[in-house]
């Protein structure tokens, strides 16, 4: 049963899908109104009449669409395809959502910083870290070396992207102000390290372990 009652004032498009879980009933209705050409009918008012918000739109089943009065099998299949697009977009948003970002703590005191940088004449860039629901990304900055000697100028930049399902253990060790997180990985993935302030290091280590459990 296709209803022809255009939603006024709101226009939702595919580019908005990542925020679809927060859509109001009017916004959901507007989205399906805009999709009328692809769906073979305007079902916007059907969604509005049934008070379907973004919190539940992606959970709709074929039987529920039938209960909403959409009797034609083909119409339901087209709508379910659109709902599947919304599901995939929400899943992608969840995977890519940044849970934490931070940067390397290079020095434990102002005196240490002054000594290591020749009173600020030779500053160093810190490594940066990012944790998402599925990955830990380390953008590592290392000073160039001549054998064991650290060069005064020049740095090497590398990126390490670790799937959290590969993590086997996470440890924290260090002092009162600065600690190192050691992340062990399986299948030859090696060991990853991050240096943070001690309180933050403990919190981030717990977050990594929690996300690893969800990925297991």
pLDDT digits (tens, 9 = 90+) for 26-53: 999 999 999 999 999 999 999 999 999 9
> Alpha carbon 13 to chain centroid distance?
22
Instruction: Let me know whether 152 and 196 are in one domain.
Output: yes
Q: Please give the residue that has the higher pLDDT: either 147 or 77.
A: 77
pLDDT 10s digits, 182-205: 999 998 778 999 999 999 999 999
Instruction: Let me know whether 77 and 115 are in one domain.
Output: no
In a domain, 8, yes or no: no
Q: What is the mean pLDDT of the chain?
A: 88
Domain boundary among 96, 126, 152: 96
In a domain, 142, yes or no: yes
Residue 20 structural domain: 14-96
Mean pLDDT on 89-97: 87
Q: Please give the residue that has the higher pLDDT: either 139 or 110.
A: 139
**CATH for 65:** 1.10.150.50
Using alpha carbons, select from 178, 194, 206 the residue that is nearest to residue 128.
Answer: 194
User: Which residues contact residue 7 at a Cβ distance below 8 angstroms, ignoring those fewer than 6 apart?
Assistant: 26, 29, 30, 33, 44, 45, 48
Q: 3-state SS string over the chain? A: CCCCCCCCCCCCCHHHHHHHHHCCHHHHHHHHHHCHHHHCCCCHHHHHHCCCCHHHHCCCCHHHHHHCCCCCHHHHHHHHHHHHHHHHHHHHHHHHCEEEEEECCCCCCHHHHHHHCCCCCCCCCCCEEEEECCEEEEEEEEEEEECCEEEEEEEEEEEEEEEHHHEEEEEEEECCCEEEEEEEECCCCCEEEEEEEHHHHHHHHHHHHHHHHHHC
User: So what's the pLDDT on residue 147?
Assistant: 66
pTM: 0.68
Band of residue 211 on the pLDDT scale cut at 50, 70, 90 = very high
Instruction: Let me know whether 109 and 193 are in one domain.
Output: yes
Instruction: Let me know whether 79 and 138 are in one domain.
Output: no
């Amino acid at each position: 049963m296709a209803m022809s009652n255009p939603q006024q004032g709101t226009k939702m498009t595919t580019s908005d899908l990542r925020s679809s879980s927060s859509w109001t009933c009017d916004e959901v209705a507007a989205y399906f109104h805009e999709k009328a050409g692809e769906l073979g009918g305007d079902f916007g008012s059907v969604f509005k009449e049934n008070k379907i918000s973004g919190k539940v739109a992606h959970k709709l089943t074929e039987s529920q669409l039938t209960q909403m009065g959409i009797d034609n099998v083909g119409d339901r299949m087209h709508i379910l395809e659109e709902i599947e697009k919304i599901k995939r977009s929400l899943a992608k948003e969840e995977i890519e959502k940044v849970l934490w970002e931070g940067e390397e703590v290079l020095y434990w005191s102002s005196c240490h910083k002054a000594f290591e940088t020749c009173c600020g004449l030779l500053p160093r860039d810190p490594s940066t870290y990012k944790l998402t629901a599925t990955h830990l990304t380390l953008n590592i900055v290392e000073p160039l070396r001549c054998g064991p000697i650290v060069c005064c100028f020049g740095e090497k930049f590398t990126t390490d992207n670790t799937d959290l399902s590969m993590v086997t253990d996470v440890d924290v060790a260090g002092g009162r102000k600065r600690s190192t997180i050691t992340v062990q990985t399986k299948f030859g993935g090696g060991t990853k390290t991050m240096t943070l302030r001690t309180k933050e290091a403990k919190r981030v280590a717990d977050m990594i372990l929690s996300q690893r459990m969800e990925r297991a």
